[in-house]
Amino acid sequence: MAQKRENIHKYLFGHPFRTDSVVADIPVSAGEAPYLLRSQDETGEVFRYALSEEDRVYGLGEQVRGIDKRGWVYASWNMDDPEIHENRQSLYASHNFLVVDGKEKFGVFVDSPGKVVYDIDYTTRGEMAIFCGRDFGLYIIEGESVLDVIRTFRKMIGRSYIPPKFAFGFAQSRWGYMNETDVREVADEYGKCGFPVDMIVLDIDYMENYKDFTINGERFPDFPAFVREMKARGIRLIPIIDAAVKAEDGYSVYEEGCKGGYFCKDKDGKPFIVGVWPGDSALPDFLSPEARAWFGEKYRVLLDCGIEGFWNDMNEPSLFYSKDSLARTIRGIAEKEGKNLSLTEFWSITGSVARLANNADDYASFYHETEGGKVSHKEVHNLYGYNMVRAASEYFGKYDKDKRTLIYSRSSHIGMHRYGGIWTGDNASRWDHLLLNLKMLPSLNMCGFLYVGADIGGFGQDTTEDLLLRWTALGAFVPLMRNHCTFGSRRQEYYRFGNRQAFKNLLDMRYSLVPYLYSEFVKSALRDELMYTPLGFLYPDDERAKETEDQMFVGGSIMIAPVYRQNTRGRNVYLPEDMKMVRMRSVSDYTEEILPKGDHYVEMGFGEVVFFVAKGKAIPLAKPAKNVAALDEEHLLWIKYADGKTTYELYDDDGFTTDVREENIRTVTV
C-alpha cells in the first residue's frame, strides 16, 4: 500500500527504467522538487543547488576523495580501471545518493541505471549541479539531521545484506594460488604461526580455462574432498565467479545460455562476443529474470561441493575488447603498414589499441531483454554487477532458504546492498589507498553497503611490511577483512614477514573484536544505521569534528584513528569529547587512559590496536581463537568508560540463520 511520507518527495522524468533500488512504495509528489533548481541541457535534466561556504556534501558511496565531496566532479559509470587516484571520476560502482548538510539538510537520490554526473563545487564555485540524463526517478529526502536523512533513505531502499558470521573472520587471498598444494601451504603456514583464519580465497585459476562453474581437475583432483579437508581445519574456500561465460562449443554453460537466449545480444540478435579472461566470451543478460534464474542455478555445482561463499568479479562488465572492435582495430592498423606515418597517425594507432577496453561504443552495441522490453546496455550499464549478484542471491535462497551464503562483488549499484557485499576493487600498495579505504567506509554505509572491505596491503604493486601492518590495524575493524594481491606482486601473506608477533597481535585482536563487530553490524542492518560514522555526523556543532576525515566511529561505542602515514610512530587524534583510550596488544595485555576532549598526539606501535571508548559505552571482547566458530562468546571481557554500570546491546546467533531479528538483541548490563 502506498504510504504518504512527508519527508520523501519523489519525481519521475521521462520513462524511468525499473531498477528495484527502492523497495518502499512511495507516491509521486506534485510540482517541482524542493531545494533544487531545474533546467535542461543537451544531456537532459540538470538540477542545481547553491552551496554556501559552510555546507558540506556527503555520500556517493564508492568514490574518490574525501568524506565531504565538495570540489570535484564525480560520475556514476561502473568502470574497471585499476589506476585509482583522486582525479578519477568513477570507480567500479555507482551509488547515486548524497546528503547536503548546512542550514538546509536534505538527501538526493537519483534512481538511474545510466550515467549521472555530479559537479560539486568544481566548475562553478558555490554550486552543485547534478546531470541526471532523461529517464530517471528523483527523490528528495528531508530530515532533522544528516543521520536522520540517511536512516530514512536506508529504510526506503530496504535492509542491507547480512553475511554468515564466518565472513567476519579473516580471509587470505592472492591471485595465483594454482592448486591444492598452494592452498594447503597457506593453511599450513597460518597453522604454524598460530594465526587465525576463516577463509582462503580461490581466484580464477581454480577453474578450467577460466570457465565459470568448472573446476580444474588436474589442480584440484577431488574438489569436494578438498573442501571437506579445509573445512575440517576450520577454513572455508571462497571461489570467484566472473561475469562473462567462455564462448566454446561443448561447454554446457555456454550452450545452455545460447539455447535459452540468456546472453546479451548484438543488433542482429546473436550473442555479443567480448574478450576477457577466457578469451571470446558471452555476457549473461542479468537484467532478464529468466537469465538470472538460469545463471543463479549454476552455483549449485559449487554449493553441492560444500562451498558457502563466493565473490563476483569483472561485472562492470569489464571488457578487454569486443570481437568486432578488435577486428576493426587490427584492420585499421594493417592499413598503415609500410607507410611513412606522421606522429599523429602513429598515436592514433596506439590510441585505437588503448581504447579497446571498456569502450563506450561497445557498451552501446549490445542489448538486454528486460521486463520492460529490449534496452541498449548503455542505458542500464550500472545495473549489471548488481543483477549478477542478485542472480546468485536469489538462488541461494532457493538452495537453502534457512541459511545465509557469503557473496561480495566488485561492481555494484544501490539495490545490490540487499543481496551482497562489495570489495572496492584493484587498489594498490600505496599509503593513500589505506586512507581512501577508511574514508569510503561511511559513504558506502550511507548507500546501504555494510559488508565492505578493500584489499588489505594493496592489490597492485609491492607491499611493504610497515604498510601491511598499518593497513591490517585498520582492517581489524572492517567487516570484510581480506588480504589480497595480484600475481607478479610481492607475496603478502602475513607469515612471509619478519614481525610475526605484531601480525599475530592484530589478527588475534580482530577475532577478539568479532562479538562487537558482529553486534554492531547486525544492529546497523536492522535499524538502517551506519556502522562507520564520521565525527561530523555525531557532533554537528563542532567544526573540528566536521573537518576530521581520518577518524571514525565504528559502531556506537568506539572511535578509531588509524595510522596511514609512513615513518610515524603515532598520530594526532582529535577527541570530540572526553574518551577512554584503550591500547591493546591482546585482550590480556592492555592499558586504559581517560583523555580530555581536544588534541592529542597518540603513539601507536606496530602490533597495537588503539581505540577510544565514548562516555557511557561498553564493548565486548572475546579471547582470540583460530576461527570465528571457535570463539568463546560465553565468557566475554568487557571494556567500558562509565562510573558504575552501563549497558550494551549484544547480538549473536548460530552464524547462518536467515531469521535475524531485533528481538534477538540482548541488553547486557556491565
Interacting residue ranges for ligand MIG, rule: CB under 6 A: 175, 203-204, 240, 313, 410, 425-426, 459, 484, 486
Q: Of 239 and 620, which CB lies nearer to ligand MIG in the complex structure?
A: 239
Q: Of 145 and 214, which CB lies nearer to ligand MIG in the complex structure?
A: 214
Q: Of 385 and 515, which CB lies nearer to ligand MIG in the complex structure?
A: 385
Cell of 535: 565525527
Phi and psi of 64, rounded to 5°? -80, 175
Q: Of 207 and 227, which CB lies nearer to ligand MIG in the complex structure?
A: 207
Sequence-separated (6 or more) residues with CB below 8 Å from residue 248: 211, 254, 278, 280
What single DSSP character describes residue 296? H
| Number of other residues whose CB lies within 10 A of the CB of residue 352 | 15
Cell of 517: 563487530
d(CA 335, CA 199): 52
Which ranges of 500-582 would DSSP assign to H, the alpha helix?
Answer: 500-527, 535-538, 543-547
Sequence-separated (6 or more) residues with CB below 8 Å from residue 391: 284, 286, 291, 292, 293, 295, 296
Q: Of 201 and 291, which CB lies nearer to ligand MIG in the complex structure?
A: 201
Handedness of CA 135, 152, 444, 545 (dihedral sign): positive
Query: Which residue, chain included where needed, has cell 555479443?
Result: 272
Cell of 327: 577486428
Name the residue among 438, 629, 614, 650 with its Cα closest to residue 532.
438
Strands 199-202 and 236-242: parallel
Q: Of 91 and 129, which CB lies nearer to ligand MIG in the complex structure?
A: 91
- Compute the least distance from the CB of residue 320 to ligand MIG, in Å: 8
- Compute the least distance from the CB of residue 480 to ligand MIG, in Å: 12
CA atoms within 13 A on the CB side of 461: 17
- Compute the least distance from the CB of residue 456 to ligand MIG, in Å: 12
- Compute the least distance from the CB of residue 45 to ligand MIG, in Å: 34
- Compute the least distance from the CB of residue 459 to ligand MIG, in Å: 6
- Compute the least distance from the CB of residue 325 to ligand MIG, in Å: 18
- Compute the least distance from the CB of residue 210 to ligand MIG, in Å: 9
- Compute the least distance from the CB of residue 486 to ligand MIG, in Å: 6
Closest CB to ligand MIG: residue number: 175
Q: Of 55 and 203, which CB lies nearer to ligand MIG in the complex structure?
A: 203
- Compute the least distance from the CB of residue 578 to ligand MIG, in Å: 42
Q: How far is CA 114 from the centre of its chain?
A: 19
Q: CB pairs under 8 A, 24+ apart, for 474-478?
A: 474/434, 474/437, 474/438, 474/560, 474/562, 474/564, 475/510, 476/506, 476/507, 476/509, 476/510, 476/513, 476/609, 477/513, 477/517, 477/554, 477/560, 477/611, 478/437, 478/441, 478/452, 478/453, 478/454
Query: Which residue, chain included where needed, has cell 572492435?
Result: 325
Q: Of 357 and 660, which CB lies nearer to ligand MIG in the complex structure?
A: 357
Q: Of 204 and 639, which CB lies nearer to ligand MIG in the complex structure?
A: 204
Q: Of 101 and 212, which CB lies nearer to ligand MIG in the complex structure?
A: 212
Name the residue among 482, 414, 574 with its Cα closest to residue 203.
482
Q: Of 243 and 579, which CB lies nearer to ligand MIG in the complex structure?
A: 243
- Compute the least distance from the CB of residue 130 to ligand MIG, in Å: 29
d(CA 6, CA 12): 17
